[in-house]
Chains A and B, each alone.
Chain A
């Protein structure tokens, strides 16, 4: 059954404003369907990024009534029949136009992480891993990179100045995943703290709350990573090892030449 609903949608760039529309809504539809109808019937130039319409590509992240969500998974039936629906772009990233953000910040942070580093002596087929070690990172691999966790994180949400030194939950989770791999030989614990800003995270669990894949980001990746970092930095034996030069080169550095301006400092 078709009804007419009120939508308030962000138009323009960072200095844009909300525009109000009355638009038809049918049974079974999600917010993205309604945005598409709006595009087809009233505002053909409404910029919306989307792809799979099945919650698996991570393209259609927006804020609906202030809550970071995938618009393709936000069912219209979950709103009150006379509720006005406000759709705005993700606040943490610069707006290109309307509901579309420039999420390059995330790609920058991804490049800085040293990738999986197995022992060069291992040949294909050499790995012998326990199922538990295989299973643990599998949860993090469910990530669809919708960047809703990055968007909601208060460390960067209203603090542009923290962006350079904080990689956000998605990429700290990636560091944790690599650190938990039993066949990985790199040690990213120091850069997790020094370069990727793990210490900024004060485990408010907002990232876990908004994750459309229900990954327990805080409990299963960020807190275990914090524990590993504490071992690296405050264990007296590790400290002694560093003092007498036994740990030389043990800390893997951030991938070189990935952070603009960093070369000049060094």
Chain B
């Protein structure tokens, strides 16, 4: 039997409001592994279940409140968008020529596994981004045989577009984050940086391209900060934050 490391959980995910599960896209709600922000840089065993229970409920309530607020004014799907989506979905089936989606999939897997895997290096991630850039056209032109009923080759052709986007997002964010933290290990930046702790990386799709921006993490509430030993905090906080914490604890 062949044994190897594999990806089994994604800590990042859709950017949601913690109280309602609402994403930035109006009417889209997310909870569980697909939502980001809950687990920080590493998920501890068992936490995913509590995540589901707490944020599943919040998202359900959030979605219900959203629908109630809409009243009778439900947004409609534009016919044009529907037609565009249908055409895009059918395109791989209608192409006369094109690459086998399995071949492209295999190359995408190999690239991400070899270059943006468990131990990452800046130069390798850059190499991966170049390869992903070349894969973009190939993904757009894959061809699927057969019909629309239970056709795995066609499903893969549709999935590939999203796989490529997610791969690029992961690679761009991994290159940007010049530290090692939780599930993200940079061979060229082996230490955890208190400065980077204060930053979230947010990716979004703008005009068909992945856009990456930094966003400040909300500071930890003082009452929560109090729960930690000062020594424990020295591993995570910047000097300024530590000084503030020391003063606060003295005042107690």
Assess the B1–A39 pair: CB atoms within 8 A: no
Residue in chain A with minimal CB distance to B156: A44
Contact of A28 among B1, B146, B149, B152 (CB under 8 A): B1
**B144 at the A/B interface (Cβ < 8 Å)?**
yes
**B2 at the A/B interface (Cβ < 8 Å)?**
yes
Q: How far is the CB of A91 from chain B (nearest CB, A)?
A: 18
A215 to B131, CA, bound (A): 50
- Is chain A's binding surface mostly helix, strand, loop or mixed? loop
- Is chain B's binding surface mostly helix, strand, loop or mixed? loop
A48 to B155, CA, bound (A): 12
Assess the B145–A44 pair: CB atoms within 8 A: yes
Q: How far is the CB of A53 from chain B (nearest CB, A)?
A: 11
Given known A-B contacts A28-B1, A28-B2, A45 and B102 have beta carbons under 8 A apart: no
Given known A-B contacts A28-B1, A28-B2, A45-B144, A40 and B102 have beta carbons under 8 A apart: yes
Assess the A44–B102 pair: CB atoms within 8 A: yes
Given known A-B contacts A28-B1, A96-B149, A41 and B154 have beta carbons under 8 A apart: no
Interface bin, chain B: 10 to 19
Q: How far is the CB of A1 from chain B (nearest CB, A)?
A: 15
Q: How far is the CB of A124 from chain B (nearest CB, A)?
A: 17
A259 to B153, CA, bound (A): 36
A98 to B156, CA, bound (A): 17
Q: How far is the CB of B4 from chain A (nearest CB, A)?
A: 13
**B150 at the A/B interface (Cβ < 8 Å)?**
yes
Residues of chain B with a CB closer than 8 A to A34's CB: none
Interface residues of B (CB under 8 A from A): 1-2, 100-103, 106, 144-147, 149-154, 156
Interface residues of A (CB under 8 A from B): 28, 39-41, 43-48, 96-98, 100
3 closest residue pairs by CB, A with B: A44-B153, A45-B146, A40-B102
Query: Can you show 30 pairs from A to B with CB atoms below 8 A apart?
Result: A28-B1, A39-B152, A39-B153, A40-B102, A40-B103, A40-B106, A43-B145, A44-B100, A44-B102, A44-B144, A44-B145, A44-B156, A45-B145, A45-B146, A45-B147, A45-B152, A45-B153, A45-B154, A46-B152, A46-B153, A47-B150, A47-B151, A47-B152, A48-B152, A96-B149, A97-B149, A97-B150, A97-B151, A98-B150, A100-B150
